[in-house]
Chain A
Amino acid sequence: MEVKKERSNNICTLYVDGVLDYSTMEPFVEKVRSIEEGIEKVIVDFTDLEFIDSTGIGAIINLVHEANTKQFEVELCGIIDEIKDLFETIGVFQIMEALQEESD
């Protein structure tokens, strides 16, 4: 699993490549920890994501809550339908919407 981080102005993009699960999530968590002050938006690009388990989803949810506290926006992109369904069932998008409404 590899996570590449790119910054352009006040937008930070995390490219997740491979399996984001219990045994591989540390690089993702590290990259989230290293998000600098002043970032206004974090994009997580899942185009090359092969598999995500509950621990990986937990890391995404923690990022969403952190974004709410530190006042930056999170966007998830490149999600295949199967993972979109999983996020929908678990409630990832509902959390994002609720926290977004709260900060508006």
Chain B
Amino acid sequence: MCSREFINEQPREINKTLEREIKLARNIQMKLLNGKQPYLENGEVLGVSIPARVIGGDYYDFYVLPDGKLRIVIGDVMGKGIPAAMLMILTRGAFRSAAESTHGPGETLTAMNNAMYNDLRTLGSFVTVFCADWDPKNNTLTYANAGHNIPLTVTSEEDIAEFPKTKGVMIGGLPDQEYSEESLELDDRGFVLFYTDGIVEAQNKDGEMYRMERLCDVLLKSYQSNVKDIKESIVQSLNIFTEGVPQRDDITMVLLKSR
């Protein structure tokens, strides 16, 4: 139907149609991605995603489990723009469906890989995903990783560290994967940052990257702040560093702080 419409349209009208459809696609993605943030009695959580183009391939999501735990997921689809955005929606569907039927983050990643492997292999693509369950009762995160950046935990104004590593192949890399789980007791006053590589790989006009050191500096200075202010500080620091150079990659972060 679309192609018949296009045959009858002039190039300028085709551009207008495409522009309108991309704008609608962006609205869909933004509404699904930056939806309602869950309210937590014993903590605060915030996610944000800033696509490099009109739409992007980064993903984060929350799912409140029946036992009161919060399942957090962050992912990065290979590539950029519309193709990555289409796979991002596929990833969201796989997570939402897996979150309901699986007991832990490792099982969730296995279910996502089982659901997506054939499609991703056919398309020659992959998604890196980090999944964690936060238990507010003991302030502990249980997590599993499918090829994603390891999150950071800030425990004082001087101490920041990556989570203890847990290995796992990206979603779409190999069939029938099992993902091992690790647990981390969070600091009562600290916070954690889940992120995608668009932050540390943001470039300034000289082609220099933002890198981990700058991110760590901002996070340490933000130790006392709430998640909204921490997010603002990271975005502001990135803007100062890049001086308006167009963003090359999608930027996504999830901040979790107990109280």
Point out the residues of chain B lying under 8 angstroms from A10, CB to CB.
none
Point out the residues of chain A lying under 8 angstroms from B174, CB to CB.
91, 94-95, 98-99
B98 to nearest A CB, angstroms?
Answer: 19
Is residue B121 within 8 Å, beta carbon to beta carbon, of the partner chain? yes
Is residue A71 within 8 Å, beta carbon to beta carbon, of the partner chain? no
- Which of B79, B124, B170 is within 8 Å of A91, CB to CB? B170
- Which of A22, A54, A55, A61 is within 8 Å of B173, CB to CB? A61
Point out the residues of chain A lying under 8 angstroms from B78, CB to CB.
54-55, 57-58
A96 to nearest B CB, angstroms?
Answer: 10
Q: How far is the CA of A23 from the CA of B2 in the complex (A)?
A: 28
Contact A62/B128 with A89-B150, A90-B147, A95-B174 known, Cβ cut-off 8 Å: no
C-beta contact mask, B119-131 vs A, less than 8 Å → 1, else 0? 0010011101000
Q: Is the CB of B128 within 8 A of A90?
A: yes
Point out the residues of chain B lying under 8 angstroms from A99, CB to CB.
174
Tell me the dominant secondary structure on chain B's binding face: loop
Contact A91/B76 with A53-B249, A58-B125 known, Cβ cut-off 8 Å: no
Closest to A56 in B: B78
Q: Is the CB of A89 within 8 A of B124?
A: no
B interface residues, tally (CB under 8 Å): 24
How many residue pairs between the two chains, A and B, have CB atoms under 8 Å in the bound complex? 51
Closest to B168 in A: A91
Point out the residues of chain A lying under 8 angstroms from B180, CB to CB.
none
Q: Interface size for chain A: under 10, 10 to 19, 20 to 34, or 35 or more residues?
A: 10 to 19
Closest to A90 in B: B147
State which residues 31-72 of A face B: CB under 8 Å. Answer: 53-55, 57-58, 61-62, 65
Contact A94/B173 with A89-B147, A89-B150 known, Cβ cut-off 8 Å: yes
Q: How far is the CA of A53 from the CA of B249 in the complex (A)?
A: 9
Q: Is the CB of B80 within 8 A of A91?
A: no
Point out the residues of chain B lying under 8 angstroms from A54, CB to CB.
76-79, 126, 128, 197
Which residues of B pack against A, CB within 8 Å? 76-80, 121, 124-126, 128, 146-150, 167-170, 173-174, 197, 201, 249
